Structure 1
Amino acid sequence: MNPGNWPTGYTKFACLVGDPAAHSLSPTLFNSGFSFLGLDWAYLAMSVSPDRLAAAIGGLKALGVGGISVTMPHKKEIIGLLDGLTPSAAMLSSVNVVYVEAGELIGDSTDGRALVDNLSFDHGIDLRGKRVALVGTGAVARSISVSLVQADVEKLSIHGRNRAAAREIHLLASLGGSSTQVVLGEATDIETAEIVINGTSLGMSGRGHEGYSPVDKGLLHGGQFLCDVVYHPLETRFLQYAREIGAPHTNGVGMLTRIAVLAFERWTGEKAPVQEMRSAVTAEVKKRVSASAGR
């Protein structure tokens, strides 16, 4: 692709639909990958209000969209507007990515798969037989719980203040006949876990709870691997604890990148340039953090 002649009459496009969407890092991730490989693709972030979602999806389908990313508040509402769902999306009743197959829109749920890929491919962690504590009861935590069970962890403890939601995740993750022991977690389950995952937004910038950790520092130790799904800031209070106690850890950039990688490869049929995409989004987060600090 020659940038001077781009876009062309053949340029394929993909997009994010959310409300809001302008803050999204997805354009940075996807467009850096398209550019690195010289693909004639473009990715846009589109703010779509709930009352306009049906019209937007119908329009995107008519225009020949190459793929759609889905964020809040549309992950459930979009289901009835699609032509089909993968087994994962059907089980979780949630969609974060849409593929185009023979002109039909097929929804998938890949949040949990992306986190497992991040731990496995980027950090060399074999999840089989591991004891994992998962904090959170929202849509992301639901997806993560199912993927951890599918990865054959030995024990998965679910931790959350909303006990009803925690019990729902416990039931969901227990389905499928896996040998994984799934429990409603107590503090001792965090202390004895080999991997501790923050599957909540606690600590994220702009949410009013920066500087907070979902787990008390006293429950953590250097023999654990700590994983945060939050990517802004790059180091949350939870990960500050990890650094202070000498525990290996990762922020949400890896999971965010792997979500994009799964969609990128499905949409384009090309191997995604993972490192280039991760570097681009990390630089963008640092830029935004610096800009916020300067205000």
Structure 2
Amino acid sequence: MKLISYQHAGKARFGAVVNDEVVELSGRLAAPDLAALISDAGQLEQARAIAAQGVSDYKLAQVDLDPVIPQPRKVVCVGINYVKHAEEAGRKVGEYPVIFQRYSETVLAHGKPLLRPKVSTHFDFEAELAVVIGKGGSHIDAANAMEHVAGYTCFNDASVRDWQFHTHQYGMGKNFRATGAVGPWLVTADEIPDYRKLSIQGVLNGKIMQEGKLSELAFDIPALIAYISQALPWHPGDILATGTPSGIGFKRTPPVFLKDGDTYDVVIPGVGTLSNPVADEA
């Protein structure tokens, strides 16, 4: 099942996507939003039954997509999680994953413009698979970690490279307004029995820049969920961005940075395509 958050007639809603049409779930279920829905197995089954009836409310093109989870409690990102990306960055995969955070206010939806900030021209792309948490918890065993996954979506951890390296703590370059794209929808975990069989591409203006396989993650999804849960509790709707494969712009010769008028797509067959234009910050 594909689930979305969106705006229609001036109201925030959520629903299921069936053949490019939207079956509205808001008001038909007790859940007030998508984060609440994915935390409740019973309501998810009701949602599937409603979607299976095939009676749509809108065309997908008629709704204004929000980020899959409009205001996630937290967005946790992983750096240097593909061996080839570590090599191109001049880094080695360490004993522990590289973890940093994004503020939810930096996250935007499919189709919305990524904003190249006024203060930098070093605006880079990072195609990623993101995990959406459905079941919260702390001190999770890696053997049980996949039970906490509600589903998957596409993520672009667009980065302001010069600001990222102002200091050795590079969170600032990861937290500019309108730079973390997510969507277009959440594909529920039952649709993807083994995420490791997924592949990922990052495509700039139709040209493939990044390619990878999720089997190549240095720290796999269960390990990441378990590791982070030792420090912070997971909550339904939290997002885990799993890292980007090689091919990023600032390590190319010459470097390739996003500019006004570009379009960057994150393509994960079986999950979807996240597409965002690029615009200069006003």
What is the TM-score of this pair, normalised by structure 1? Answer: 0.27
More contact order relative to length (CA 8 Å, sep ≥ 6): 2
Relative to its length, the structure with more helix (as a share) is 1
Structure of higher CA gyration radius:
1
TM-score normalised by L of structure 2: 0.28
More strand by share: 2
